[in-house]
Amino acid sequence: MSVSNKIGNLLRNYSPKIYYFITKSIILKATYRFRAKSIFIMDQKGSSFKEYISENNMNDRLLALKNGMDDYSKTTISTLYKRLLNYPEFSYGVKIKPTDNKPIGGLLEEEKIKINNSKLLKKEKIKIKTNHIDSSVFYFHHGLKVLPDKIQKMVGGGDFIDLGAFVGESALILNQYNYKKIFSVDMSKVSIGNYKSNMAKNNISEDKFEVLNYAISDTNGDTIKFADSGSSGLSTNWESNTKDGIIEVPTITLDSLIGDYKINPSFIKMDIEGVALDCLKSGITSLKKYRPVMSIAIYHNPIEFFEVKPYLEAELDDYTFIVRKLSNTTQDFDCHAETILLAYPN
């Protein structure tokens, strides 16, 4: 290892504030024209990982996140943390090509799996109109596939909640787990139209699902305005630069959603683009009452990544928590995207 690399490693591990300043302000900007554009860290969904790391005691944060988890969860967290430290954020305008086709920290086990999307859809016997074929959904089933058999059986017969429903791909793939009814929530009216179409194509009875146009929030009755592109990445944290297609969507808390629609949740999938912690806080009364299995996307911003698990651990008695990166690719955001916190009652 060169002297410069050793110095860089020391700064990164023991003085992240200085490392952050040097990498963002000097090295990355100076080498912009010479970097291959391929890998970067998400920073458009509420806050910056680099700034969060520079402003917090990360030893304490990492200890709290890893506490009580299995060894592979700890390995996954350590690997992703190395990437968060070393790769530039999207706003830098710089992306870094992986060395020898391997990302920083090496490949996680999920990243070694070779998946053919078209064959996967045929295997699952799903007809769907979308260009967004995600291994976290169609291969890993939002993490249910990696959980113990008894936990997979536990969710059957109850209601499922799908927060961030997009075009219904989760409702379709999770149908095999025998939910009583799935309540799907999405901000986008465009996506909801496609959702209904996809459910019809797959002959899913209308009494098996209810799709609701809300923005999940920590408040009830407010209104969110946004440009409805129908994208899978729509977020209350991401302001649009366009005035075209602006729609208004009411907010609802998780507790109100469960109470108003008389839901008895056995499983909750949550991929809501950066606002998971607010959503969980808004539903903690129901989570304590029903004790569902949960799959929570925590990769959008550092609040999700570092603070969701410690919050739930403090609020919910006798739960197991694991972290998995449910994606077999590492390009672009995928170096840390599809990182999921799985939580289930013991």
What DSSP designation does 146 have? G
Arithmetic mean of pLDDT, 151-177: 94
* Distant-in-sequence, close-in-space partners of 55: CB < 8 Å, separation ≥ 6: 17
> Does the pLDDT value for residue 247 go beyond 90?
no
Burial 277-311 (b: 16+ CB within 10 A, else e): bbbbbbbeebbeebbbbbbbbbbbbbbbbbbbbbb
Average pLDDT over the chain reads 85
Tens of pLDDT, residues 286-340: 999 999 999 999 999 999 999 999 999 999 999 999 999 999 888 778 889 999 9
Distance CA 218, CA 267 (A): 20
At 31 the pLDDT is 39
Arithmetic mean of pLDDT, 28-35: 40
Arithmetic mean of pLDDT, 172-189: 94
Arithmetic mean of pLDDT, 151-179: 94
> Does the pLDDT value for residue 133 go beyond 90?
no
Query: Positive or negative, the Cα torsion across 99, 143, 290, 346?
Result: negative
For 346, how many CA atoms within 13 A lie in the half-sphere containing its CB? 8
Tell whether domain 113-297 is in CATH 3.40.50.150: yes
Share of the chain above pLDDT 90, in %: 60
- Delimiting residues of CATH 3.40.50.150 domain(s) in the chain: 113-297
- For residue 259 the two structure tokens come to 């109470």
Q: Which of 19-23, 133-137, 221-225, 228-232 has the lowest mean pLDDT?
A: 19-23
Arithmetic mean of pLDDT, 114-141: 81
> Does the pLDDT value for residue 5 go beyond 70?
no
Arithmetic mean of pLDDT, 91-99: 65
> Does the pLDDT value for residue 147 go beyond 90?
yes
> Does the pLDDT value for residue 121 go beyond 60?
yes
> Does the pLDDT value for residue 232 go beyond 70?
no
Where do we find the tokens 């739960």? 319
> Does the pLDDT value for residue 164 go beyond 80?
yes
Q: Which of 260-264, 275-279, 292-296, 326-330 has the lowest mean pLDDT?
A: 326-330
CB 219 within 8 A of CB 252: no
Higher pLDDT: 134 or 241? It is 134
Where do we find the tokens 């459910």? 199
Conformational region of residue 104, where left means phi above 0, alpha means psi within -120 to 50, and beta covers everything else: beta
Arithmetic mean of pLDDT, 170-182: 95
Tens of pLDDT, residues 15-25: 655 654 555 44
- For residue 125 the two structure tokens come to 């016997």
Arithmetic mean of pLDDT, 222-250: 65
SS3 296: strand
Higher pLDDT: 286 or 239? It is 286
At 9 the pLDDT is 56
Arithmetic mean of pLDDT, 223-228: 82
SS3 239: coil
Q: How far is CA 205 from CA 175, 210, 236, in A?
A: 11, 10, 31
